[in-house]
């Protein structure tokens, strides 16, 4: 299985380390000098997306993972935000 691709928008990273703390499989490493988080073990990612949700800047994007349809979401609202510029 191909690993999940994790992209971090470096300019948006505020150095809070919340992604490092929340990741259940220790995918991230915190670079103390640059005060930025780095992806160290992308192959361990289980695509729980916890890091993407906790990131204050919404700077972490995942691709290549299996998307689960969340039935609890309001489809009308999802459709509406799809048209946000």
Partner 1 sequence: MSAVPVTVNTEWLSDCSGCHIAIVDLHEKILAVLDSVTIQRCPVLTDIKDYPHATVGLVSGAIRNEHDRHAAMEMRKSCDLVIAWGSCAVFGGPAGAGNVHTREEIADAVYLNNKTTVSAQPPSCEVSPLESTVSPLDKAIDVDLYLPGCPPHPAFVFDALLALVEGRTPKATQESVCGHCTRQMRKTDVDAIRSNSDGIANADQCFLSQGYLCMGSATIDRCLSPCPQNGIPCTGCAGATMQVLTEPNRDIRTEIAERMSKLTKIPRDAIVKEIERTSKSHYSYTMATQMIGEKPTFLIRRWIAEADQDYQGAKYDTQ
Q: Which residues bind partner 1 (CB under 8 A)?
A: 9, 11-12, 14-18, 21, 35, 53-54, 56-59, 70, 72-74, 77-78, 80-81, 83-85
Q: Are 17 and 65 in contact (CB under 8 A)?
A: no
Cβ proximity to partner 1, 48 vs 54, nearer residue? 54
Give the contacts of 2 (CB within 8 A, at least 6 positions apart).
64
Give the nearest distance from C-beta 79 to partner 1 in angstroms.
Answer: 10
* Nearer Cβ to partner 1 (24/56): 56
User: Using CB atoms within 10 A of its CB, is residue 19 exposed (0-12), middle (13-18) or buried (19+)?
Assistant: buried
């Amino acid at each position: 299985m191909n690993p999940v691709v994790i992209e971090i928008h470096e300019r948006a990273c505020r150095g809070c380390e919340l992604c490092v703390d929340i990741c259940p499989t220790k995918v991230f490493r915190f670079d103390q000098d640059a005060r930025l988080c780095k992806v160290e073990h992308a192959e361990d990612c289980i695509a729980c997306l916890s890091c993407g949700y906790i990131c204050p800047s919404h700077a972490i994007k995942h691709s290549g993972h299996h998307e689960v349809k969340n039935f609890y979401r309001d489809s009308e609202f999802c459709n509406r935000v799809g048209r946000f510029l």
